[in-house]
């Protein structure tokens, strides 16, 4: 299956799913405090999705080829965990940084978004990593318009992260999304300008750079899911689901609590 151009009906469905993913993050935000466990956050999210939103947690039992079913309703990736952290008994403590990544399904459509949270007061270094990663995601988003190329997006993200002495994780990328959780195209967070797929209005994909404070290398833990930095350096990630519009982009994963865009 090649890259889909979404219909008006698909776009309407994706706007709803995207807003709900963002509202779920808004709901979780005040709970991300010292003392809560990542498992508690998972339970809050699961119940909010099922009982309040009437959405389906896309990650629960999600099983891509070669994987065991993912056991939770969201991912919580703390400090040196890059992505796909499995919620559990770990208590968040002041100074931690955590990525909360949620994907909801509403009427068959997926909304996928993640944010970084600083628990208590972060170190200057941790705060800066989260900010630079947020700026990098936004630099990528601002490139999106018909005729731009995927390499243009990857390039600006890579340049921003590496310009601050950080490293882009290469093994994971953004992805097309719609009735499928992960579909074409792959949206790399590094690359060369003027290369790759040309964007067209009606495409929907995520931009979700993972940025390491140290080296780019990663390892997967024995649980088969949790990805950590090989050098144990801190890692950050932000994610939006984005529609290519006739004159630019529309971020689908927005709600009242969405953090404001950084200065251009
Ligand atoms: N939400 C992640 C993404 O942005 C995927 C998580 S899959 C899981 O693509 F199985 F690890 F939950
Ligand atoms: Co995603
Ligand atoms: Co996600």
- What's the gap in Å between 150 CA and the centre of ligand 3? 19
- What's the gap in Å between 216 CA and the centre of ligand 2? 19
Q: Write the residue with the smallest CA distance to atom 7 of ligand 1.
A: 59
Rounded to an integer, the average pLDDT of 140-146 is 99
Ligand 1 atom at minimal distance to the Cα of residue 175:
9
| Contact present, 207 and 242 (Cβ < 8 Å) | yes
Tokens linked to 170: 């290469």
Q: Write the residue with the smallest CA distance to atom 12 of ligand 1.
A: 59
All residues at 6 or more sequence positions from 88 whose CB lies less than 8 Å from its CB, including other chains: 37, 38, 39
Of 116, 118, 103, which Cα lies nearest the Cα of 206? 103
Rounded to an integer, the average pLDDT of 6-31 is 99
Residue positions counted in the chain = 264
The pLDDT tens digits of the residues spanning 197-208 come to 999 999 999 999
End-to-end alpha-carbon separation of the chain, Å?
35
% pLDDT > 70, the chain: 100
Q: In whole angstroms, what is the distance from residue 211 CA to residue 231 CA?
A: 13
What are the extents of the domains in the chain?
Answer: 8-251
Please give the pLDDT value at position 208.
99
Q: Is the pLDDT of residue 1 over 90?
A: no
Q: Which residues line ligand 1 (CB under 6 A)?
A: 59, 62, 70, 75, 84, 101, 103, 112, 206, 208, 225, 239
Cβ burial 63-86 (10 Å sphere, 16+ → b, else e) = eeeeeeebebbbbbbbbbbbbbbb
Query: Is 0.75 surpassed by the pTM of this model?
Result: yes
Q: In whole angstroms, what is the distance from residue 5 CA to residue 97 CA?
A: 36
Q: Does domain 8-251 have CATH number 3.90.230.10?
A: yes
Of 89, 95, 75, 62, which Cα lies nearest the Cα of 24? 75
65 — pLDDT class (breaks 50, 70, 90): very high
The SS3 call for residue 40 is helix
Q: Write the residue with the smallest CA distance to atom 11 of ligand 1.
A: 84
The pLDDT tens digits of the residues spanning 145-193 come to 999 999 999 999 999 999 999 999 999 999 999 999 999 999 999 999 9
Tokens linked to 21: 């993913």
Tokens linked to 127: 């705060």
């Amino acid at each position: 299956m090649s890259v889909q151009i979404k219909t008006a009906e698909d776009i309407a469905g994706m706007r709803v799913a995207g807003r709900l993913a963002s509202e779920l993050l808004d709901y979780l935000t005040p709970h991300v405090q010292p003392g809560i466990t990542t498992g508690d956050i998972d339970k809050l999210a699961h119940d909010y999705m099922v009982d309040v939103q009437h959405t389906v947690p896309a990650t629960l039992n999600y099983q891509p080829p070669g994987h065991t079913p993912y056991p939770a309703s969201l991912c919580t990736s703390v400090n040196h965990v890059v992505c796909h952290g499995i919620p559990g008994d770990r208590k968040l403590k002041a100074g931690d940084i955590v990525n909360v990544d949620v994907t909801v399904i509403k009427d068959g459509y997926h909304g996928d978004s993640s944010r970084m949270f600083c628990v208590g007061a972060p170190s200057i270094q941790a705060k800066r990593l989260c900010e630079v990663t947020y700026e990098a995601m936004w630099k990528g988003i601002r490139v999106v318009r018909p005729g731009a190329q995927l390499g243009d997006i990857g390039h600006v993200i890579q340049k921003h992260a590496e310009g601050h002495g950080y490293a882009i994780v290469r093994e994971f990328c953004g992805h097309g999304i719609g009735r499928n959780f992960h579909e074409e195209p792959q949206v790399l967070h590094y690359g060369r300008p003027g290369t790759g797929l040309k964007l067209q209005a009606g495409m929907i994909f995520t931009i979700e750079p993972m940025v390491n404070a140290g080296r780019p290398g990663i390892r997967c833990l024995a649980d088969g899911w949790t990805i950590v930095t090989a050098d144990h350096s801190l890692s950050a990630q932000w994610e939006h689901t984005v529609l290519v519009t006739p004159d630019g982009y529309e971020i689908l994963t927005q709600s009242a609590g969405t953090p404001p865009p950084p200065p251009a």
